[in-house]
Each structure stands twice: as C-alpha cells, then as structure tokens.
Amino acid sequence: MRRTLVFGIGLALLASLALVSTAMAQATTPVVQGMAQKELIKTLRSAHRLLVAADHDYDGHRAKAAKEVHNALKELGYQHKKVQPASTPANGAVVAPKAGRTGQPRVHEPQANSDAQLLEAKGLLQGALTQLTGKHPTATAKVKAAIAEINTALSIK
C-alpha cells in the first residue's frame, strides 16, 4: 500500500514537471521562431534585391529567379510595401518619376558584376534553405527553383 502511494505521488510529480517544462518551451518557442522568421525574410529580401539589381537579363532566368524568391516571401507571409511617389502636387495628382529617354544608350554593368550579384544571391538562398527545409515545404520548393534558375542564368554567357 505504501509503495503504491509513493509510486503514485512520484508519477504525479513527473507528470506535473513534464507539463511545466512543456508550457515553458511553448512560451519561448514563438519568440525564437519569430526572430528566426524575421532573419529568414531579411535574407530572402536581400537575395531578391540582388537579383533585381543585376543588370544582365540571362535570357529571362534572372527575372524568373527573382519571381520565385518573391513567391517564397509571399508564402512566408511577407507583404511588400509599396513606395509612395516622391512628389505629389497640390491638386493631389500622382506624378510618376520620369523614365524618359536621354538620347544616351543605356550603359550595362560589366558581366562579371552581374555574375557576382547572382552568386551572392545564390549563397543567401542556400543559407535560407537550411532554415526553411521541413518547416515551409512550398517556400522551400520556390527557393530551390530560384537557385536552379540562377544556375541556368550563370551558365549563359
């Protein structure tokens, strides 16, 4: 009888300890995951900026890679904020910045610079994969597709 009572008390203590430790883990996990999510989004945004900034087309593969990264960001819940125009006249009309022609041919950056931007974006995306794999399958697939597009782009000269 005494053994049964001691055993029962021991089990009750273990169960309460397990509940407390689980509650503590759940209380801290969202903060850690939230921080990891912010870093992941920051990394993907940096890779996207590099892909957009690269000056060469690579037969459309650079743009496809940027689109895949954009879609991965959307999958993770990132909302792109639209930039307000630089000036708004008194009448409230929106004035778009001039994209006009200067009569000068557009100067492309050297191919090596574009290649370096794509390689840097690829490195960022590969690092992001370690945080994504197993947690966000759709975003993982989109990042993998972006890396494949970058590889194809870099094979084009």
Domain chopping of the chain, boundaries: 35-79+110-157
User: DSSP string spanning the chain?
Assistant: -HHHHHHHHHHHHHHHHHHHHHHHHHHHHHHHHHHHHHHHHHHHHHHHHHHHH----GGGHHHHHHHHHHHHHHHTT--PPPPPPS---TT----PPP----SSPPPPPPHHHHHHHHHHHHHHHHHHHHHHTTT-HHHHHHHHHHHHHHHHHHH--
**Whether 45 contacts 101, CB under 8 Å:** no
Comparison of pLDDT for 3 and 86, the residue scoring more: 3
Q: What is the pLDDT of residues 101-134, one digit of tens each?
A: 555 555 678 889 999 999 999 999 999 998 887 8
> Does the pLDDT of residue 89 top 60, yes or no?
no
pLDDT at 102: 53
Tokens representing 109 are 């950056």
- Average predicted confidence (pLDDT) for the chain: 76
**Whether 143 contacts 70, CB under 8 Å:** no
pLDDT at 78: 85
pTM of the model: 0.65
pLDDT at 140: 95
Q: What is the pLDDT of residues 29-55, one digit of tens each?
A: 343 455 588 899 999 999 999 999 998
> CA 107 to CA 1: how far, in whole Å?
91
> Does the pLDDT of residue 62 top 70, yes or no?
yes
Q: Hey, how many other C-beta atoms are within 10 angstroms of the C-beta on 65? A: 31
Residue linked to tokens 């630089």: 86
Q: Which residues contact 144 (CB under 8 A, 6 or more apart)?
A: 129
